[in-house]
Amino acid sequence: MTTELSIEFFPPQTAEGVARLKTERAELARLHPEFFSVTYGAGGSTRERTFAIVKEIVAEGSSAAPHLSCIGSTKASIREILDEFRASGIRRTVALRGDLPSGMAEPGELRHANELVEFVRAEMGDDFQIIVAAYPEWHPQAKTPDADLVNFARKVKAGANAAITQYFYNADAYFYFLDKATRLGVDIPIIPGIMPIVGFSKLARFSDACGAEIPRWMRKQFESYGDDTASIRAFGLDVVTRLCERLLRGGAPGLHFYSMNTAALTTEIWQRLKR
């Protein structure tokens, strides 16, 4: 059975970054992913850069799934973006609430991801496959785990076709989330988000901020390597490969890699999986 692969990029801020991403993307295209997703900055702050990359991906013969966030935006601006996507042959989007940009007081006309999903579906019918976010270790702003699950189910019932999770390193968290979501009537594919490990310090800071747990045994092992980047890389590759193997054995419908705009680690892990 073929496992679906998808890969995420973020829009670089410099011309050098854009050129580097094009090279990395060409490497990743050899893995024949189902689609490349491209992130979208708070309040649409990267709109032009996101769409420029998306158009390049389509021109290169790959499928693109641009992110679309609603916080800080109007219905008119979201409708304009969707029209732009559709005119460019894009039929897939990742619908997110997003974050309110610093200094912006008004959250906009749509305040939650389920409202965005409803709006896209109402405006575009079935023209788009809508992907939403899922949080196996719970969204950091959720009041309770159960409340977070109810919010997730609300997005699905609003018209989502699939979900991609926040990254995690505990497979049990994913399978438990899957079981709970199924009991709420969720029946769409929930694809695990995978974060290859480039370095430990930056990963630890980012994980603490977004609520993704790094198990204590992993932290201790990484800390024991100090500045030994080769050992950190090798251990990280082993850990993430084993995580992917367990997820796929357990029936995960695919894997979504947060590439951080580099090809090497995603390529290495995918080749180890021999997919």
Give the catalytic positions in this structure. 8
What is the longest distance spanned by two Cα atoms in the chain?
53
The half-sphere exposure of 263 on its side-chain side, counting CA atoms within 13 A, is 15
Q: Is the dihedral of CA 153, 155, 158, 160 positive or negative?
A: negative
